[in-house]
Amino acid sequence: MLVKNKKNFTYGLILTIGFFVVLFIMFMPIFGGTNAFHAADGLFNSISKASANQFEQVGTTVASLETMPADQEIQLSETVGQNAALLINTTGQEATYENGTLTVRGEINPLLDQMLVDARYMFDNNGAALQDAYGIDPEAALYAWWMYASAASKEFFLDKRFDTAKALDEVRTRTVEVAYNYYGVNPTPASERVGIILFALVFYVVYTIWWGFAIFELFAGVGLTMTKTAKKET
Tell whether the model's pLDDT for residue 18 goes beyond 60. yes
Instruction: Answer with the residue of higher pLDDT: 60 or 224.
Output: 60
Gap between the Cα atoms of 221 and 3, Å rounded: 6
**Exposure string over 155-183, b if 16+ CB within 10 A, otherwise e:** bbeeeebeebbebbbbbbbbbbbbbbebb
Tell whether the model's pLDDT for residue 232 goes beyond 70. no
Q: What percent of the chain has pLDDT over 70?
A: 95
* Phi-psi group of 92: left, alpha or beta (phi > 0 → left; psi -120 to 50 → alpha; rest → beta): left
Are 175 and 137 spatial neighbours (Cβ–Cβ below 8 Å)? no
Long-range Cβ contacts of 107-110 (<8 Å, 24+ apart)? 107/67, 107/68, 107/69, 107/70, 108/68, 108/69, 108/70, 108/164, 108/167, 108/168, 109/62, 109/65, 109/67, 109/68
Question: What's the pLDDT score for residue 190?
Answer: 87
Alpha helices in 6-137 (DSSP H): 6-26, 36-50, 55-63, 78-89, 108-123, 127-134
Cα radius of gyration rounded to whole Å, the chain: 28
Are 180 and 144 spatial neighbours (Cβ–Cβ below 8 Å)? no
Are 171 and 65 spatial neighbours (Cβ–Cβ below 8 Å)? no
Instruction: Please calculate the CA angle 205-210-216 and round it to the nearest 5 degrees.
Output: 130
Position 76 confidence tier, pLDDT thresholds 50, 70, 90? very high
Over range 16-38, report the average pLDDT. Answer: 94
Question: What's the pLDDT score for residue 50?
Answer: 87
Position 56 confidence tier, pLDDT thresholds 50, 70, 90? very high
Give CA separation, 128 vs 24, 84, 118, 224, in Å: 39, 18, 11, 62
Alpha helices in 172-193 (DSSP H): 177-182
Say which residues have a Cβ less than 8 Å from residue 234's Cβ, sequence separation at least 6.
none
Q: Are strands 94-98 and 72-75 parallel, antiparallel or unpaired?
A: unpaired
